[in-house]
Structure 1
Amino acid sequence: MPRAPASLDSADGAQSVRRAMAILRLVAAGQDRGVRLTDVAAMSGLTAPTVHRFLKVLMDETAVEQDPTTRRYRIGHEITLLGLARPGGVSIRAIAEPYLAALAANVGDTVFLSVRHGADSVSIARHLGSHPIQVLSIDVGARRPLGASVSGIVLLAGMPPDEARALTQRNEKRLKGAGRSVKDVLAAVDACRAQGYTYAQAGVMPGTSAMAVPILDPAGTLVAAISIATLAERLPRDRVRGVLAKMQEQVRLVTVRLGEIERARPARR
């Protein structure tokens, strides 16, 4: 006899929702090239048949789509439509946009804005510089496990140490897929806490370098990370201090703007 669908009020129903959301996040994290079913199964800890069953339902709902040639999965149109329904407001992206543009113009290289979402860093803005060769290491909307990039290191460094360590350990499989070990990530996070920024002489893409700094609100709470990706020859160690000063100046202006917006809000009763 066929099993009745699980109610959302039941433990099985709630677990199914959590599994579906976990699978969606993994698909979103591989949005650059798409992800294989076996990748999602390995990173989620679920069996391949279970993952396939969830992906089929998500495809039926157009939340996920599959490339007919590569058979890889990507986020579908329904997720975009749901995102458009989110109530408006002043976002960190809107606040930071002019300062990102100024930084890109000043250093000549690609500037990214990233935020934390769960166990991932999500790129929410990108500005190109004036140099003829720009490093487009990630698309807007793409996700990576925290620690897989300089932005993720900065975002982890802004978390309480125990929480950052536990989250990094939970991300171990996904980090391994990105060529990073838990030990290396935690060492980079410690260094970032000590110096206030992170620098990767070898960036995510071969032949590139990257660095990132945190954006703090006036209360000192981390809200986002600004990063730069460029050709390795354009960011040797002896240029880091100069580029860092330019990044920190724009971050300072973002923090000032955040304070102005907070003070302009009506007082809560």
Structure 2
Amino acid sequence: MRAAPRSTIQSLGRALRLLQQFSPSHPEWSVGELAAAAGLPKGTVSKILATFQEHGYLIQDPVTRRYRLGPALLVAGRMAENGLDIARLALPLLRRVTEASGETSILMVQAGWRSICLAKVDSPHPVRMAAEVGRFASLHSGASNKPILAYLPEEAIDAYLRSPYFVRRGPRTITDREQLLANLAEIRRRGYSESDSEVEVDIQAFGAAVFDAYGWVTGAISIAGPRQRLAHRPASAMVAAVQDAARELSRLLGWQGTWPAPWPPARPGQRRRASNPSLP
């Protein structure tokens, strides 16, 4: 995680959160639907969408009046894709994880106060965990995300727990502050996270943190699948698969220290003063 500005522009944050609602499973939205999803007034949402449309980031169907992503984002996406070396580096490791486990493997990376799926390899089974590249998730819910939160600086963890993102996201999401802090400490002690139905019913997952060249957490690799199937496989095998992949990806990103990296994180030669990530 990199240092972020001390203050943020709330109106810009609201606008970006609207853009983040668009996904492969929900590519089109009406003004009313977006307003309800984001908890914003329809008038505000309408003005934001019109501005995005004016600059080519959204297009509106003239018949249905529904919005979808526009060509300006396609150009930006191609530019961003060229810089996503982490996804390219991770894919062979994810394939290895899925081959070893038979389950869907996922790479999540931090995106402000959330995480985003950058790469995945689907399980060969017809019944499997559905993961979408480009989909955002909450840092405090699920084994695919909690390793990221666990290895953030203490100040950042505290700020996250006071943010509007710390809410229930699934059947067993931990929403008690002290319980979550204890869980994060356990993740750091064990070197992996485990979850059961925290995001989706009957989905079990195991995850491990990925670190950059400075030993700062940048993402997590995880295995996720139906509880009924994972219950018949040794948990130690699942854990070893994600830990090996996370350790290797960290090495490819330049981290040469012990894995998991020491916590709290530090810059070479000095303790880093953590800055709170900006709210997207």
Displacement, 1:142? 1.1
Displacement, 1:109? 0.8
d(CA) in 2 for partners of 1:70, 1:240: 49
Aligned to 1:108: 102
For the Cα contact (< 8 Å) 1:29–1:144, is it kept in 2?
no
Aligned to 1:6: none
Displacement, 1:218? 5.4
Task: Output aligned runs, 1:202-221, within 5 Å.
Answer: 202-217=197-212, 219-221=214-216
**Structure 1 unaligned regions, length at least 5:** 1-13, 262-269
Bigger Cα Rg? 1
Percent identical residues:
26
For the Cα contact (< 8 Å) 2:147–2:192, is it kept in 1?
yes
Task: Output aligned runs, 1:12-91, within 5 Å.
Answer: 15=9, 19-29=11-21, 31=23, 32-33=25-26, 36-42=33-39, 46-64=40-58, 75-86=69-80, 88-89=82-83, 91=85
Cα gap change, 1:233 to 1:71, in 2 (>3 Å): farther
d(CA) in 2 for partners of 1:75, 1:158: 34
Cα gap change, 1:260 to 1:117, in 2 (>3 Å): closer
Cα gap change, 1:19 to 1:242, in 2 (>3 Å): same
**Structure 2 unaligned regions, length at least 5:** 1-7, 257-280
Q: What TM-score results when the alignment is normalised by the length of structure 2?
A: 0.72
Q: Which structure has more RCO (C-alpha within 8 Å, separation ≥ 6)?
A: 2
d(CA) in 1 for partners of 2:70, 2:185: 37
For the Cα contact (< 8 Å) 2:220–2:246, is it kept in 1?
no
Displacement, 1:105? 1.0
Structure 2 residue 96 is matched with structure 1 residue 96: no
More helix by share: 1
Aligned to 1:7: none
Secondary structure at the residue paired with 1:129? coil
d(CA) in 2 for partners of 1:156, 1:246: 21
Letter matched to residue 116 of structure 1: Q
Displacement, 1:149? 3.2
Displacement, 1:160? 1.0
For the Cα contact (< 8 Å) 1:119–1:171, is it kept in 2?
no
Aligned residues: 241
Aligned to 2:276: none
Secondary structure at the residue paired with 1:250? helix
